[in-house]
Structure formats: C-alpha cells, structure tokens
Amino acid sequence: MAHLIVKSGLALGQLSTFNNELVITRTDGKTPLPSDYMGLDDDMVSRNHCRIYLDKNGYQIQDLGSTNGTCVGTRVLQPSESCPITDGVIVQVGSTQLLFTSLENRQDSKALLDDMDITHSMPQKFEFNDDEATLEVMSDDEVKQDVSMVVDATQFMQDFDRVVPDQLSENEELLRQMQAMIKVSMAVGATTNMDMLISKVMILLFDLFESAERTFVMLYDKANNKFVPLCVRYRDSNIQPKRHVEISETIIRTVIHKKQALLIEDATRDQQYGHQDSVMNLSMHSVMCAPLLYENQVLGLVQVDNRKIHKEFSGKDLQILMAVCAQLSISVKNSSLFQDIEQLFEGFVRASVQAIESRDPSTAGHSFRVAEYTEKLARSVDKSSIAQLKNIKFSHEQIKELRYASLLHDFGKVGVRENVLTKAKKLYGHELKDLKQRVKYAEACIEQQAYKQLIDRHTVQNLSQQQFLAEKKQVEQYIIEQKKDLSRFLNAVLILNEPGDNIDSLQVELEAFQNYKFANHNNNSQMLLEPFEFSALCGMKGSLTTLERKEIESHVTHTNIFLSLIPWTEHLSNLPNIAHAHHERLDGSGYPFGLSTEDIPLQSKIMAIADVYDALTAGDRPYRQGVKSEQALGIIEAEVNAGKLDRILFKIFVESKSFEL
C-alpha cells in the first residue's frame, strides 16, 4: 500500500491511498473520478499527467506525455519515461507538490500521518526542540472562553504616535520616553535594511533626548579595518550634515578601545575630558557616546551631543542610550548577517546561471544582459508619466524579484539535451560527417563496379588491346561524370545545411538525388541520401526539427519546475511565474500556454522585450549573426505591430534607452 499526499497548492493535505496503480489527472472537483485516479485542480496538470504503479521491482512513476512534465526529486522525466519512486520522494506536477510514501516499511498509516506536516481539517500542532513542550490550537467547541478584556491591537499601535494628553503632564517625560523606547524597539525589529534602520533610530533619539542637537552613528568596516560614519542627523533640519564628521579622538579611544559608555554632562567643568583639545575644538557642551556591542565585539558607536549651555544629559539619559544601543547592536548584527545571506544567494544565483550558460558558450552572458535590460526598463516604467502606467509602482523587493527572475529565466535549459541546445546546422556534425563519408564510399563503389565490369567483359569477350583501351577510356569518363554529380550533390548539401538557406534551385538539385542508389561492395543497393537527411535539408528553415524546437521550448517548463521547488520568501514568491511566462505573447501565439495579454504578468511582458532584444543583438549565436541595435528595434517594432509585444513598454524601452548598457 502507498500514499500520495498533496504538499502544496489548492488541495493541500489531500490524501490518496492505493495498492497497484494511481493516475494523476486534472479535475474541476465536480466530475467523479474512479478510485484509481487522483484529481488535482491545477491548470498546469494534464488530463493524463502521470501514473504510479507497482511491479516486481517496487513502485515506479511514469510520465504520460504531459504538457508541462513530471519532476521526481530533481529529475525531470521525459515523455513516457519511467523511473523508480521511493519512500519520501517529492513529485512536482504542474504547480503542485506531492509526497509519495510507501507503507511497506511502516507499521501503520497512523505513523505516516504523525510524521507529516498536514494540518488540513485537524488541530494544528506546533513542535518545539523540547520533546515535551507542545502547543495545541483547540477548536472553539473544545474550551469555554473567559475573556476579561479585548484590546484593538491596531489602535493600540497607532496610539504611540499620538500626543500625550495634558492631564498626564506630571508623568509626561516618563511616558514620552517609554513611547520613544517602544518606537525604537519597533524600528529595530521592522527592517533588515541597514540605512533605513539607522535613519529611523536617529530620528527617534531626538524624541528620547530633548537636549540632543546632533546624533550620529559610526560602524566598523571590517574589510578596511576602520570606523566610518554611517548616518548624521541634526534636530534643526535646516542644518546640512557635513561630509566630514567631526568626533573627538579621546572619546573614540574610551568608547571603542575600552568598550565603555561615556557621559560628559558639562565639558567646561569636566576634568578628564573637558580639557582635551579634541573636545574643546568641537565646542561640545554635553556629550553621550556608547558602543554597539555584540558578544563583546564592537560593531560601532552612537553619539548624542549638544553645544548649548544649560542643556545637559544625565546618568539616566546614558542608561537609556545604552539600552537603545543594546537593541540596535542586535539589529545591526542581524542586518549584517542578512546582507551576507543576500550576497551568498546572489553569488549562488550568478554561479548557477554561469554554469547553465557554459553548456552553450554561444549564449554566454545572455541571462546577465537580459537582467540588466529588464531592470532598467522596469525602473523606467516605474518613473513613467504615461496614463496607462500611472498606478504601476515597483518596490525595491519587486525589482529584486524581477532581476532574479531575469537571471534565472533560462535555468530550465539544464533539462534540454546539450546537442539540441547547441545545434547550429540542420544536420548534426556527426550526421554531416556520415553523409560525406557515404559520398566518398559511393564514389569508391562506383569506380570499383565500373572497373570490375570492364574486367568481366574482357574475360568473356577476350578484347583486343585496342578494344580494351577504348572500353577503359569510356569507363574512366563515366567515373568522372559520376564524381562530378556526387560533388554537385555534396555542394548542395553543404549550402542547404545552413539555417535559412532554402534555395529553390538547390532543393531541385537535391530532389534529383532523393531516390539515388548505388551498388555497395556487396553489390547490394544502398541509398545515398537518407529520408531524414532530405527532410532536414529541404523541409526546415532553421536548424531545428519540429521535435527539437519543442524540446527547446520546454526549457520554460523546466525553469518553472525547478524554481517552484525553491522555498522562496514572500517577497520573491511570484518569481517562478514571472520567469515561466517570458515567452508568452499578447496575441496568444507564445508558449508554453499560449496566454493572452490579460493573463501575462507585467514583469514577464517587460522581460520578453529585453529577451528578444538581446537574442537579436547577440553577435555570437552559431546559427546567425547578431544585428545592429537599430535593426533589432525595427524587428521588435514589427512584433509590436503584429500584436505580440506590448506597445507602451516598447515605447518606454526606446525612449529611456534601456537597451544601452
């Protein structure tokens, strides 16, 4: 017995149990299905997509010629291909993930369900590292609620931005600082962007310290082993921060090297710091400075100061600043780690793209260029004043999502056979080599047969020397004529083998040899030109047969399958769909689905223009030379006029010169 469980998609948690065979099909959920069928409400699943069956070697899975393919683990099955399927393997059909589990090695089905993260129609259970610590979400009818107070959390959060009421004037300072501290806590936990984080905290420091005139943050630059100013703010917004930030060397030495927080209430009276040249030269009256410490490592420092007399910071203020720095240190470290992860992921994506493109050196750099064109066009669309696009605003995360989708849009080429991917001529290299060898073989056989017939006649007729020489001369002339014909044939083959060269006169030449036969060394009749060779040379404009072109087009499906297996974050969740639709066309003539304009994501429409432009202008394609930019834009404009590519996006592409790198 085996189980197939839906791990993603609309039917999350759906369970099918079977013994010998189960067929996966697309269904609308209304039509009853036989017990040996599993229906999925997924437009990317075919009517007869794949089947899992049991034979003497165990359970096997077979793709039934589905449109979008079947992925078993990381392996993409070819149409009608079968392979073994083992316990715990993830199967991807369309946009749905399925988990296969055979119960042959399990005690019972309950053990299976206990192991699975299936929460459909049952209480959710949250597991902790501690085996005994669990939290169970109970349904409403299992417990009686005793609610003493209900607070609107949204309203509660909004209240922090309100002015403190007058009746709380005696506690106003304390309440104000509490609100500011809460805002700091919310700020440091709300963003992983270092610049935004520091900027928010700097503004909130003015709410915390009424005496503060200036705040700034310095961070440690690990790569260059030095501290650099990151953000400077003045309470007076009319003061423009200087590019060169002035800070006391004496204060830095105390805060950074001794890892101590520092308070100078009144620099004019301070015996230790007030008389230092660096402090006096900066005309500071009251100063607070605290290090950003994480696990005893100094990440930077925060300084708050003023130059006005009678506005002094207190010991309580320093404690508050240290509390802010403690929170900020964790957030700075997390932000740094987040940036490291992003750089790691960026490097992995680039390495993956380079690895894929290395399979086809002629397209090297294509994905990187498309990503550049796409990102520039998207930013231009975002800034456009055209009425139809006035509501289009791409966030930083959406631009990042589109860039990654562009980098990975051809990732599925890893699932295309390399000889098809790199095919430059109508005949593969080994096929043309075989044909050339066959022509030479035909020449040798014709020559051998002609001389053999001459010898046979001489043996039977006992030709005189004069007769023999005359016959020999005729044979030699015959051989020369035959070799000329074969040479003319081979020349036609070589010209027609080039993509796009379908010259009528040469096709007629080749047709004359379509049924040409010669006697081989065994005196058996042999075809000079195989039917598939004639079909390839005379029936194709490009270098690919219909089946080969279908295989090339399948790369978008492979891309979608592979990218759908990656657990993208919420901000990148639409990435597979964007990459999947970059070959769709507005009039429905694209692939793989033939989507119409309203079903194609805007990001995919943007990428489509960039992809076509680079494909036209790339100068290293084996099957054709790249064209000039003006000519490429003209070709794309023809596609726009034919209703295939978006007219407004193309206009912005040209006007913004997004095609210039």
**Three-class secondary structure assignment of 253-302:** HHHHHCCCCEEECCCCCCCCCCCCHHHHHCCCCEEEEEEEEECCEEEEEE
Tell me the two tokens of residue 408: 């990975």
Please give the full DSSP string across 374-421, using - where no structure is assigned. HHHHHHHHHH---GGGTT----HHHHHHHHHHHHTTTGGGGGS-HHHH
231 and 329 assigned to the same domain: yes
Look at residue 82 in the predicted model and tell me its pLDDT.
Answer: 92
- Burial track 335-346 (b if 16+ CB lie within 10 A, e otherwise): bbeeeeeeeeee
CA distance 2 to 5: 10
Query: Is 137 within the bounds of a domain?
Result: no
Residue 402 pLDDT exceeds 60: yes
From residue 53, how far is each of 61, 83, 88, 101, 548 by CA, in Å?
6, 11, 16, 13, 30
Q: Model confidence over 533-565: pLDDT tens digits?
A: 888 888 777 788 788 888 888 889 899 988 988
329 and 190 assigned to the same domain: yes
Which of 274-278, 299-303, 441-445 has the lowest average pLDDT? 274-278
Total number of domains in the chain: 4
> Do 298 and 329 touch, CB atoms closer than 8 A?
no
Mean pLDDT of 377-393: 90
| Domain C-terminal end among 509, 540, 571 | 540
Look at residue 151 in the predicted model and tell me its pLDDT.
Answer: 37
Q: Model confidence over 498-528: pLDDT tens digits?
A: 887 566 777 788 888 888 999 988 889 999 9
- Burial, 648: exposed, middle or buried (Cβ in 10 Å; 0-12, 13-18, 19+)? middle
Q: Which range marks the domain in which residue 230 is found?
A: 174-338
Q: Is 228 left (phi over 0), alpha (psi -120 to 50) or beta?
A: beta
20 and 83 assigned to the same domain: yes
Look at residue 255 in the predicted model and tell me its pLDDT.
Answer: 81
Query: Is 167 within the bounds of a domain?
Result: no
What is the CATH number for 60? 2.60.200.20
Residue 243 pLDDT exceeds 60: no
Q: Select the more confidently predicted residue: 370 or 275.
A: 370
| Domain C-terminal end among 540, 575, 599 | 540
Mean pLDDT of 243-268: 74
Residue 110 pLDDT exceeds 80: no
Look at residue 323 in the predicted model and tell me its pLDDT.
Answer: 84
201 and 81 assigned to the same domain: no
Q: Which helix (H) or strand (E) holds 22?
A: strand 21-26
Question: With bands split at pLDDT 50, 70 and 90, how would you rate the model's confidence at 67?
Answer: confident
Residue 569 pLDDT exceeds 90: no
414 and 433 assigned to the same domain: no
Which of 100-114, 230-244, 252-266, 469-483 has the lowest average pLDDT? 100-114
Q: Model confidence over 35-58: pLDDT tens digits?
A: 889 998 888 889 889 999 999 889
* Tokens 């957030």, residue located: 331
CA distance 430 to 443: 20
Look at residue 222 in the predicted model and tell me its pLDDT.
Answer: 75
331 and 273 assigned to the same domain: yes
Express as a percent the part of the chain with pLDDT over 90.
Answer: 26
Which of 257-266, 472-481, 563-572 has the lowest average pLDDT? 257-266
Tell me the two tokens of residue 340: 């490291």
Q: Model confidence over 386-401: pLDDT tens digits?
A: 988 888 899 988 999 9
CA distance 340 to 358: 27
Residue 33 pLDDT exceeds 70: yes
pLDDT, mean over the chain: 80
Look at residue 271 in the predicted model and tell me its pLDDT.
Answer: 42
From residue 123, how far is each of 126, 130, 645 by CA, in Å?
10, 20, 49
Question: With bands split at pLDDT 50, 70 and 90, how would you rate the model's confidence at 627?
Answer: confident
Question: With bands split at pLDDT 50, 70 and 90, how would you rate the model's confidence at 620?
Answer: low
Look at residue 442 in the predicted model and tell me its pLDDT.
Answer: 93
Q: Model confidence over 597-613: pLDDT tens digits?
A: 999 999 999 999 999 99
197 and 49 assigned to the same domain: no
Tell me the two tokens of residue 580: 């999947």
Look at residue 638 in the predicted model and tell me its pLDDT.
Answer: 95
What is the CATH number for 405? 1.10.3210.10
Look at residue 220 in the predicted model and tell me its pLDDT.
Answer: 80
Q: Model confidence over 332-355: pLDDT tens digits?
A: 888 888 888 888 988 998 898 888
Query: Is 256 within the bounds of a domain?
Result: yes
Question: With bands split at pLDDT 50, 70 and 90, how would you rate the model's confidence at 426?
Answer: confident
309 and 411 assigned to the same domain: no
Look at residue 480 in the predicted model and tell me its pLDDT.
Answer: 93
Express as a percent the part of the chain with pLDDT over 70.
Answer: 80
Mean pLDDT of 155-176: 49
575 and 608 assigned to the same domain: yes
Look at residue 588 in the predicted model and tell me its pLDDT.
Answer: 93
Q: Model confidence over 125-140: pLDDT tens digits?
A: 333 344 443 333 333 3
Residue 115 pLDDT exceeds 50: no
Query: Is 116 within the bounds of a domain?
Result: yes
Query: Is 146 within the bounds of a domain?
Result: no
196 and 316 assigned to the same domain: yes
Look at residue 433 in the predicted model and tell me its pLDDT.
Answer: 94
Query: Is 162 within the bounds of a domain?
Result: no
What is the CATH number for 190? 3.30.450.40
| Domain C-terminal end among 516, 540, 564 | 540
From residue 657, how far is each of 282, 379, 555, 630 by CA, in Å?
49, 12, 29, 12
Question: How far out from the chain centre does Cα 557 lie?
Answer: 13
Which residues, other chains included, contact 67 with Cβ-Cβ below 8 Å and sequence gap of 6+? Answer: 44, 46, 557, 592
Query: Is 500 within the bounds of a domain?
Result: yes
Look at residue 245 in the predicted model and tell me its pLDDT.
Answer: 58
Query: Is 299 within the bounds of a domain?
Result: yes
214 and 326 assigned to the same domain: yes
534 and 587 assigned to the same domain: no
